[in-house]
Structures are given as structure tokens and as C-alpha cells.
Amino acid sequence: MLKVYNTLSGKKEAFAPLVPGVVRMYVCGVTVYDECHLGHARSALVFDVVRRYLEHSGFSVTFVKNFTDVDDKIIKRANELGKPWQEITATYIDAYYRDMGRLGIKPATVEPKATEHMAEIVELVRALIQKGMAYQVNGDVYFQVDRYGTYGRLSKRKLDDMQAGARVEVDERKRHPMDFALWKGAKPGEPSWPSPWGLGRPGWHIECSAMAMKHLGETFDLHGGGMDLIFPHHENEIAQSCGATGKEFARYWLHNGFVQINQEKMSKSLGNFFTIREIFEKWEHPEAVTAEVLRYFLLATHYRSPLDFSDLGLDEAKRTLDSFYGLFNRLTEPTGLPTTGDEQLPSLIEELAGSFRQAMDDDFNTSIVIAAFQRFRSEVNRLLESGLSPAACRRARETFRTLGYVVGLFQSDTWQFGVVHGGPASLAGGDASAAGLIVQGPISDVEIERLKSERGEARKRKDFARADEIKKLLAAQGWIAEDRPDGTTRWKR
RNA sequence: GGCGCCGUACCCAAGUGGCUAAGGGAGCAGUCUGCAAAACUGCGAUGCGGCGGUUCGAACCCGCCCGGCGCCUCCA
């Protein structure tokens, strides 16, 4: 039985979709005016895993994730750069797909854009005016918060309290200081669409209500986003949507914690953010390796907890994954031993599967999932010591792959073990130069193969000086030697 | 001022009323190895920021305090 923490109630609740077997979920995507940073990555990843687990659990999932492609910040950015706003949004939508693709985030079922839902947005605003929950001031339309009785239910605030501490500059035309714009009249040169209130554009919040209802219906199951969206964004979405329909909007609200740098929220305004692109560029590993390290790192902490980003944390994630992939390699090699471990494998798999389900059912506790994988890794390593049949090895690898898929881990067939910072040249500064073996650039693959076999020969005739010399030489190229008991060598890089 | 979150070993991180406080990394010792590497084995908190309280029993509940953070303004 899946339980999820619902921000609305502040508790873990049993999850039961409105229509049995079908889950309709909406996650706030990005406003496309800049590159995505790690915080966006975390949110995307968390809900990617939520979606994957729901599907794994047998639900048919309709997942909607929007692009907000009309907004003050986009206009501002366009003006700064002197480019049409459509060019800005197109650029960053592309960047979004590039980054999410690299991270292995599955595309949502529907990825709607605000600009393609003007009719629905206008209709929603019209309905709100009709119900007396919104009012027009010149070309603008505002939502009147005190007409919506349960305003503040999600963020657990009272209108009076907010007023007391509000540092917002109060627009005199508003009836209540917390009233927010549903529609903004266009100034010259701004993007605009026709409406009963004149040319204008939607305010922030309304686009999500319109898109969610269009693609999922007036009431749907799950709505997600970062903690910082609880107020005002999600609070306002609820007010608008429920205000217009008189029905419940989303039933379960899930919010992920922040990515922090030195205990502080990573954010644009603090300037302490890393873009996803930067991380891929900085880490000199194949993209797939960086992606998995990042995913592992982000999933090692429960999604609602704050997570401090650091190189140290990333390094640790890399080390741990090295260990997993080392095992995966060994699982493809014949052990030449009896298969005494085979009979224990099924119960270990069962144990893993049980822990996995239990952990994911408990509000997507990926930390425990990872611990379960680690324990399974140890157990399989142990079985390998006593001998596993090739079939059992394949079964073990498949188990990692199948359950790993749900959290997006262990899918690769290749891996890069050595840390190849800066390529061979900088590696030569380590062991090799100490041994007086300064390498002039990379060695050809043919030469590397020749050296590997030469080392094998040297070891056979017990010429360990030469064998070690070659080991160091190849280490400088990123190759790590693992000698097997039978005299053969496993080379990793 | 209002609302809320966090503080668990050197580091990361589960656990939120009851078996010996998961798991990993690092470290140390050992097995294996020509030496390594990898893997395996063993070792680590009488204690969960502090002080009180509730309870037969608390890291977990309550109160106060200390330290850090978030939202209330665009923010995943």
C-alpha cells in the first residue's frame, strides 16, 4: 500500500487515485527564461521517480508537465538581450530537453505550453469574474482572495497573518493586498493575446490551472513541485481552480526539498547555483556516467529533505557506483568455481524486492532503496566468492537492471571507473611521473593492448619490475589492473 | 511579526514510541595477491544539538533553550 506525504494534510496518507488503476499527475515545469540548475534537476528527477514507481506498481499514468513560456521574466530577458521573446523561450525549451535528456528523465505524457492554452486561460478568468471571485481593473484582472473561503489551506497561512507581515508593495487598485493577477493588460511591445478585457497576457499561476484542467480534468490525483511553489503558486492555483469549478483540484500535493550550497538554498537570487550543463561540462566522464552519478547523489537523500550539494558528495556517489559496476563486470565473467552460491540467490532477490517495495511505498524512500541495493551488492559479491553459475549471474544482473530502472539506475552496459580528469596528460602527473615515465600524450589502443599482453608475459616469467613498470604506464592512461588468481588480468578504466 | 523545516558516528544518510540506532563512504586490522587493485571478514555512536517533562519504555511525543535554514517578493 503506497503512502504519500500530502502537503495539504501535512501527513502521510494512503494513496488511492480517483479512478482505480489510473493516476493523473501534474508537475510544475519550468519558466523558460534561463538554463536549468540543479534544483530543477532534483525536482524533475524526484517526480520522474514518482512516475516510474507508479507505473511499476501497475498504474496507468498520465503525467503532465508544463512549460511556462509567457511571463515577466521572459519579457525582461528578451528586452535585455534585444531578442524576440519567442526566441528566448525556444532557446531554453531546447536547453531543457537537452538537460533532461542527459539526466535520463522520461518525457511526460503531455508537455503543454502556456501560450498554446490562451483560450482555456481566458475562459477560466471569465468564469472567475462571473462567479464574483475576480474583478477587472482597467485591462487587468485580479483574483479576490477573500472571496475564496479556504485561501491559505495548502500553505497553512491566514490572510490576516500575511497582511501583517507583508512587505509587498500594495497596489492601490487591489481590493485585498493579497489579490493576485489573473490577466495583465499588455504594455506596448509586450506579448499579448486578445481577451474580453483587451490585449494582454496571463498572470503567473493561471496557466497551470488551465493546463492541468485541460489535460487531466477538473479534479485529478497528484500535483507536484518544489517546496518554494507551495506559496504563492500552488495556493493560488487551488484558489483559482476550485473557485472556478467548485470542485476539488488536485487531491495529493507533493513537494520536494531544496538543493542547498553550504546549508543555503540554491537559487538564482543568491547566485549560488550550478546549472545542469555546467556539471556535465565540469565532470570529465562520459555523459551517461555523470548522469547516473548525479541521479544517485540526488536520490540518496529522501526527496523532502534538504540536500547539500558538494563535490565530495558527488565523488562518493561515483565511488559507490564504481563498486556496483565492478560487480556487474564480474557477473559477466565465468568464475570457474562450483555454483554453490546459486541456491541462495532467489531468497536474496526476494529480500531486495521486498525492501524495495516497502521503501518506495513509504513515501518514495529512495535512501532505503539504495541501502537495499547496497546490501544486495554485498551479498552477490559474497556469492561470487563461492561461485555462481552464468545463469545466476545473469539473473543477478537482471535484478539490478529491472528494479534499478524504476529509480533510473544501473541501466548502463559500460562504465568509466578511473577518474580521467583532464585526460591522459594530467594523469601523467601522478604515478607515472614519479616513476620517471613521463607520457607524451595518449598511447594508441594498439599499443595499449600490446602493453597489456606484455605485462602478462612479464608476470609469467616473474619479471615483476617490468610488469609494475607497465602497470604504472597504463595507470597513467587511466587503466586499472586487477589481477585474477588464475594469472589473468581484468583491466578497467 | 506569521507559518514551517533541519540538527543522528570523521563524512553522507535511514529510522519518528519498544528486538543489539539501517546502509554507504573514509579509516584501521585481517584474508586473497609477487606487489597492488577489487572482493570478502572484523572493528566504530551506552548514544541521536542541550535541559527538563510525559511514559513501564523516547533519537522518536510535549515544553523551553542553543545552532542553522526556508516561505511570507520571482524562485524547483
Map out the domains of chain A with their CATH numbers.
3-261 (3.40.50.620), 321-407 (1.20.120), 423-492 (no CATH)
Check: CB of residue A479 under 8 Å from CB of residue A493.
Answer: yes
Confidence check: pLDDT of A433 > 50: no
**A115-132 mean pLDDT:** 96
ipTM score = 0.95
d(CA A332, CA A340): 17
**A4-26 mean pLDDT:** 93
Write down the pLDDT at residue A163. 65
Say how many CA atoms lie within 13 Å of A330 toward its Cβ. 20
Average pLDDT score, chain A: 90
Confidence check: pLDDT of A421 > 90: no
Write down the pLDDT at residue A43. 95
Give residue A423's pLDDT band: very low, low, confident or very high (50, 70, 90). very low
**A350-378 mean pLDDT:** 96
Write down the pLDDT at residue A164. 57
CA–C1' distance A163–B11 (Å)? 44
Q: Lowest mean pLDDT: which of A24-38, A234-248, A440-454?
A: A440-454
CA–C1' distance A306–B16 (Å)? 17
Minimum-distance nucleotide, CA of A44 to C1': B76
Check: CB of residue A82 under 8 Å from CB of residue A292.
Answer: no
User: Looking at residue A110, what DSSP letter applies?
Assistant: B
Q: Which residue has the higher pLDDT, A172 or A12?
A: A12
Nearest to A47 by CA among A135, A55, A358: A55
Check: CB of residue A260 under 8 Å from CB of residue A309.
Answer: yes
Nucleotides of B under 7 A from a protein CB: 1-6, 11-15, 22-26, 32-41, 68-76
**A479-484 mean pLDDT:** 92
Radius of gyration for chain A, computed over Cα atoms and rounded to the nearest angstrom: 28
Give residue A432's pLDDT band: very low, low, confident or very high (50, 70, 90). very low
Give residue A170's pLDDT band: very low, low, confident or very high (50, 70, 90). low
Write down the pLDDT at residue A425. 35
The cell 464574483 sits on which residue? Answer: A132
CA–C1' distance A463–B38 (Å)? 23
Give residue A420's pLDDT band: very low, low, confident or very high (50, 70, 90). low
Minimum-distance nucleotide, CA of A489 to C1': B37
Write down the pLDDT at residue A476. 84
CA–C1' distance A312–B34 (Å)? 35
Give residue A424's pLDDT band: very low, low, confident or very high (50, 70, 90). very low
Write down the pLDDT at residue A3. 93
The three-state secondary structure class of A129 is helix
Check: CB of residue A299 under 8 Å from CB of residue A370.
Answer: yes
Position A375, amino acid: R
Write the pLDDT tens digit of every residue in A303-360: 999 999 999 999 999 999 999 999 999 999 987 778 888 999 999 999 999 999 999 9
Write the pLDDT tens digit of every residue in A46-67: 999 999 999 999 999 999 999 9
Give residue A485's pLDDT band: very low, low, confident or very high (50, 70, 90). confident
Write the pLDDT tens digit of every residue in A434-444: 334 444 567 88
